[in-house]
């Protein structure tokens, strides 16, 4: 099996790598780039724990090959914010009980980021639909929906 040289931007940094062509994007991020915030939860594209942004669009990295992201710009949860400079969604998830065990949290943050980039002032039903590709077993989704709504309201001045 041949490898492929890929060149991409991950969390603002340029990355060049040689990957096996059957390497999943999720494995590439976790194992090759040590970005373990991207989680493996089902590896069948249902749970959304492995969600990342590719060129701004939220995708499931377990349903993508690393070879496919050549030339793209990626954001993983590690690229959202850092200590002292958290992303508003990270702040809001913390403040509104948008997480408990935290395993699903990176995926939800990225799905929510994608939503708010397209729809800065979503209704609750739109928030729930936008998060329907992510599973959480702890929060009952209430804290998550509250967190996303709150970011929208505070940045939208409602």
Partner 1 sequence: MTSAIVGEPLPQVSAQEKTLGRAIYSGDVKVAGMLHAKLLRSPYSHAVIRSIDTSAAEALPGVKAVVTGADVPERAWGVAHKQQHVLARGLVRFAGEEVAAVVAVSEAVAQEALDLIVVEYEEAGALLDPEGALDGGAPKVHAEGNLADEINISRGDVEAGFAGADIVHEATYRTHSQYPGYMEPMATVAATDGTGKLTVWTSTQSVFLARQRLAEALDRPVSTIRVIQATVGGGFGAKIVEERSSVIAAFLATVVDRPVRVGLSRLDDIQSGCFSVPTRIHLKMGMMRDGRIVAKDVQVLADCGAYAGLAPEVMLVTAMRSDNMQRIENVRTKAQLVYTHTMPRGAFRGFGGTQMSFALNSHMAVMADMLGMDAIELHRKNAIRTGDVSVHGWNIGSCGLPECLDQVQAAIGWDEKRARPKGTGVLRRGVGMAAVMHVSGNRTMGNWDGSTVVLKVNEDGRAVILTAESDMGQGANTMLSQICAQELGIPLSHVTVQAPDTDSAPYCLGSIASRVTVNAGHAMLKAARQAQGQILEAAAEKLGCDADELSIVDGVVQSNKNGNLFAPLPEICRYHIFRRGGEGILVRATHDPQTVMMDKDHYGNIAPAYSFAAQAVEVEVDTETGQVRVVDTYLSDDCGKAINPLAVHGQSNGAAVQSIGWTLYEHLQFEDGRVMNGNLADYTMPTAESVPTIQSGIVESNDPNGPLGAKGASETAILPGAPAIANAVFDAIGVRITDLPITPEKILAGLAAKEESQHA
Partner 2 sequence: MREFEFLEPQTLTEALAMMSEYEDDACVYAGGTALLLAMRQRMLSPGFVVSLGKLDELREITFNPAEGLRIGALARHSDVARAPDVQAHYPMLAGMAGGLANPQVRNQGTIGGNLCYADPATDPPSCLIAMDAEVTIAGPGGERRLPMREFVVDFFTTALEPGEILTHITLPPPRPDRTGLYRRHLRTPAEHRPVANVALTFRDVNGVPEDVRLVIGAAVPVAQSMTRAEDFLTARAITLDVAAEAAAMVAEDIDPISDGRGEEAFRRQVVRAITRRILAEAAGLNWKDAAA
Q: Name the minimum Å distance from CB 55 to partner 1.
A: 20
Q: Which of residues 43-102 bind partner 2 (CB under 8 A)?
A: 43-46, 48, 51, 54, 57-60, 63-65, 67-68
Our CB check for partner 2 shows the closer of 55 and 121 to be: 55
Selected from 10, 90, 115, 116, the binder of partner 1 by CB under 8 A is 90
Binding of residue 142 to partner 1 (CB under 8 A): yes
User: What is the spatial distance between Cα 22 and Cα 14, in angstroms, rounded to a whole number?
Assistant: 22
Q: Measured on CA atoms in the order 134, 135, 138, 140, is the torsion positive or negative?
A: positive
> 76 contacts which partner out of partner 1, partner 2, none, CB within 5 to 8 A by kind?
partner 1
- Give the C-alpha separation, 129 to 83, whole Å: 30
User: Contact between 122 and partner 1 (CB under 8 A)?
Assistant: no
Assess contact for 4 and 17: CB atoms under 8 A.
no
111 lies in the site for partner 2, by CB under 8 A: yes
Tokens 């590439």, residue?
A: 28
Residue 55's closest CA among 73, 38, 67, 71?
A: 73
Give the neighbor-by-neighbor strand order of the sheet with 13-20.
13-20, 3-10, 73-75, 51-54, 57-60
The Cα–Cα gap between 149 and 96 comes to 10
One character per residue 102-121, x = contact with partner 1 (rule: CB under 8 A): xxxxx--x------------
In the shown chain, the binding pattern of residues 120 to 149 toward partner 2, with x for contact by CB under 8 A and - for none, equals ---------xx-xx----------------
3-class DSSP state for residue 147? Answer: helix
Q: Give the interface with partner 1 as residue ranges (CB under 8 A).
A: 30, 35-47, 49, 76-78, 80-83, 86, 90, 93-97, 99-106, 109, 124, 127-129, 131-132, 134-145
């Amino acid at each position: 099996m041949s490898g492929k040289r890929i060149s991409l931007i991950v969390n603002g940094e340029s990355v060049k790598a040689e990957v096996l062509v059957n390497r999943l994007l999720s494995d590439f991020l976790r194992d090759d780039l040590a970005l373990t915030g991207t989680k493996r939860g089902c590896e069948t594209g249902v749970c959304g724990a492995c969600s990342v942004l590719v060129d701004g669009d939220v995708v499931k990295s377990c349903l993508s090959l690393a070879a496919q992201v050549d030339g793209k710009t990626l954001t993983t949860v590690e690229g959202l914010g850092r200590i002292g400079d958290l992303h508003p969604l990270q702040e809001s998830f913390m403040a509104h009980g948008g997480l408990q065990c935290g395993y699903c949290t990176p995926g939800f943050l990225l799905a929510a980021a994608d939503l708010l980039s397209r729809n800065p002032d979503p209704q609750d039903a739109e928030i729930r639909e936008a998060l329907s590709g992510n599973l959480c077993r702890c929060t009952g989704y209430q804290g998550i929906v509250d967190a996303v709504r709150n970011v929208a309201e505070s940045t939208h001045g409602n």
